[in-house]
């Protein structure tokens, strides 16, 4: 089978435990996913499965040919994931039932081509983008409140070092949150509830995979 599935962020809510504790959760619609292509080590040099998510009829001729024979007219998002264990067939349907309550998962936004990552904030200064403290507010400083300060020496090395934290585009990046706990799974509606929040806007496309750096609870 596969280690990950495509999904869509529905939003946040809360659920109550048996002890009456309120737990914040993010609701993710995981599936239905369809196997659209199988890649093997003998033919392609590596093993993987291409999954499709979200039905659509707006396809061009090459896309229609690639998805020919599936039980749905077309799929909007395609993404490759690692495959292992029991082989998957083209057209096979997968959903939230692949996950179970209490399981640890990683959620990634911005991994699928053409989809947004974390929420874009536009061009931002160093105070907002990196949490800089800014300059002094007194002693004659009237225009340095949100300035970044020195960005390098004049003689040595005589340049701005690579990777210096400065103002620039903030957000809209690929981001992964590790080791989220699955609070509940609703297979008949393909919903997975994970503890806490995940980056990205509502209806954003995400990849939910089995945790690769599992921590002991």
3-state SS of 24-83 is: EEEEEEECCEEEEEEECHHHHCCCEEEEEEEECCCCCHHHHHHCCCCCCCCEEEEEEEEE
Question: Which residues have CB under 8 Å from 109's CB, separation 6+?
Answer: 9, 115, 116, 117, 118, 174, 175, 176, 198, 199, 200, 204, 205, 206
For the CA atoms of 39, 9, 108, 125, the dihedral, rounded to the nearest 10 degrees, stands at 140
E-strand ranges in 60-174 read 75-82, 93-94, 104-109, 122-124, 168-170
Give me the CATH code for the 4-121+172-210 domain, please. 2.40.30.10
Question: Residue 114: its pLDDT value, please?
Answer: 87
For 143-185, the pLDDT digits (tens) are 889 999 999 988 888 999 999 999 999 999 999 999 999 999 9
Average pLDDT for runs of 10 along the chain of length 217: 91 92 96 90 88 91 90 91 79 90 94 92 96 90 90 90 95 95 94 95 94 73
Question: Residue 215: its pLDDT value, please?
Answer: 64
The answer to whether residues 114 and 172 touch, using CB atoms and an 8 Å cutoff, is no
CA distance 56 to 40: 28
Question: Residue 157: its pLDDT value, please?
Answer: 87
Q: Which residue has the tokens 């690769």?
A: 212
* Cis-peptide into 157, omega within 30 deg: yes
Question: Residue 100: its pLDDT value, please?
Answer: 92
Domain borders along the chain are 4-121+172-210
Question: Residue 179: its pLDDT value, please?
Answer: 95
* Closest-CA residue to 51 (of 69, 68, 75, 20): 75
pTM: 0.85
């Amino acid at each position: 089978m596969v280690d990950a599935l495509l999904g869509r962020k529905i939003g946040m809510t809360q659920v109550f435990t048996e002890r009456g504790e309120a737990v914040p959760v993010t609701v993710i619609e995981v599936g239905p996913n369809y196997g659209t292509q199988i890649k093997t080590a003998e033919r392609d040099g590596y093993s993987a499965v291409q999954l499709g998510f979200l039905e659509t009829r707006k396809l061009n001729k090459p896309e229609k040919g690639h998805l020919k024979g599936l039980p749905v007219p077309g799929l909007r998002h395609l993404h490759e994931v690692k495959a292992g264990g029991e082989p998957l067939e083209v057209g096979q349907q997968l959903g939230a039932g692949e996950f179970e309550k209490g399981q640890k998962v990683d959620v990634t936004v911005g991994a699928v081509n053409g989809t947004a990552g974390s929420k874009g904030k536009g061009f931002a200064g160093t105070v907002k983008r990196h949490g800089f403290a800014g300059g002094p507010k007194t002693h004659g400083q009237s225009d340095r409140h949100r300035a970044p300060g020195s960005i390098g020496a004049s003689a040595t090395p005589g340049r701005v070092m690579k990777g210096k934290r400065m103002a620039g585009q903030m957000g809209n990046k690929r981001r992964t949150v590790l080791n989220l706990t699955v609070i509940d799974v609703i297979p008949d509606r393909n919903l997975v509830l994970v503890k806490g929040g995940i980056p990205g806007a509502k209806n954003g496309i995400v990849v939910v995979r089995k945790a690769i750096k599992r921590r002991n609870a």
